[in-house]
A and B are shown apart, each in its own frame.
Chain A
Amino acid sequence: MSHEYVPEIAVDREGQEHEVQGWQDDMYGAKLGFWLFMFTEVLMFGAMFMALTYYFTLHHDDFLIASSSLNRVLGGTNTVVLLFSALTMGLGLLKMRHGDVKGAKLMIWATILLALVFLGIKAVEWTAEYNHGVFLGLDALQAGNEHSKPFGQILFFGMYFTMTGIHGFHIIIGIGIMLWLLKRINAGKVTPEHHILHFNIALYWDLVHLIWVFVFPYYYMIGAGLTGGAH
Chain B
Amino acid sequence: MANTTKTYKEEYAGYWKVLAGLLILTGLTFVQPTMFMENATFMVQMLIGTVKAWLILMYYMHLKGEKLIITFTYFSLFIVLVFFVIVIGFDVANFQYSDLSHITSGDTAAAVSETHGAAHAEPAHH
Contact B60 A206 (CB under 8 A): yes
A residues in contact (CB < 8 Å) with B: 27, 31-32, 35, 39, 42-43, 46, 50, 53-62, 64-65, 68-72, 76, 79-80, 83-84, 86-87, 90-91, 94, 98, 128-129, 131-132, 134, 143, 149-155, 203, 206-207, 209-210, 213-214, 216-218, 221-230
Overall SS of chain B's interface? helix
Contact B108 A35 (CB under 8 A): no
28 A-B pairs with CB atoms under 8 Å apart are: A32-B69, A35-B72, A46-B80, A50-B83, A50-B84, A58-B103, A61-B109, A68-B117, A71-B124, A76-B26, A80-B26, A83-B19, A86-B60, A91-B15, A94-B12, A129-B125, A151-B105, A154-B106, A209-B60, A210-B56, A210-B61, A214-B49, A217-B45, A217-B48, A217-B49, A223-B117, A226-B116, A227-B116
Contact B12 A83 (CB under 8 A): no
Contacts of B84 in A (CB 8 A): 50, 53
B112 interfacial by beta-carbon distance below 8 Å: yes
Contact A80 B23 (CB under 8 A): yes
Contacts of B106 in A (CB 8 A): 143, 150-152, 154
Contact B72 A39 (CB under 8 A): yes
Q: A79-B26, A214-B53 are in contact. Are A149 and B121 (CB under 8 A)?
A: no
Q: Within B56-95, which residues are at the interface with A (CB < 8 Å)?
A: 56-57, 60-61, 68-69, 72, 76, 80, 83-84, 88, 91-92, 95
The complex places the Cα of A105 from the Cα of B45 at a distance, in Å, of: 35
Contacts of A56 in B (CB 8 A): 42
Contacts of B118 in A (CB 8 A): 226-228
Contacts of B30 in A (CB 8 A): 72, 76, 221
Interface string of B98-126 (1 = CB under 8 A from A): 00000111111111100011111111111
Partner among B111, B119, B125 whose Cβ is within 8 Å of the Cβ of A230: B125
- B15 to chain A minimum Cβ distance, whole angstroms, is 5
Contact B29 A221 (CB under 8 A): yes
Contacts of A218 in B (CB 8 A): 45-46
With CB as the reference atom, state the residue of chain A lying closest to B7. Answer: A98
The complex places the Cα of A57 from the Cα of B107 at a distance, in Å, of: 16
- B66 to chain A minimum Cβ distance, whole angstroms, is 8
With CB as the reference atom, state the residue of chain A lying closest to B125. Answer: A128
Contact A32 B41 (CB under 8 A): no
Contact A226 B117 (CB under 8 A): yes
The complex places the Cα of A39 from the Cα of B79 at a distance, in Å, of: 12
The complex places the Cα of A35 from the Cα of B1 at a distance, in Å, of: 14
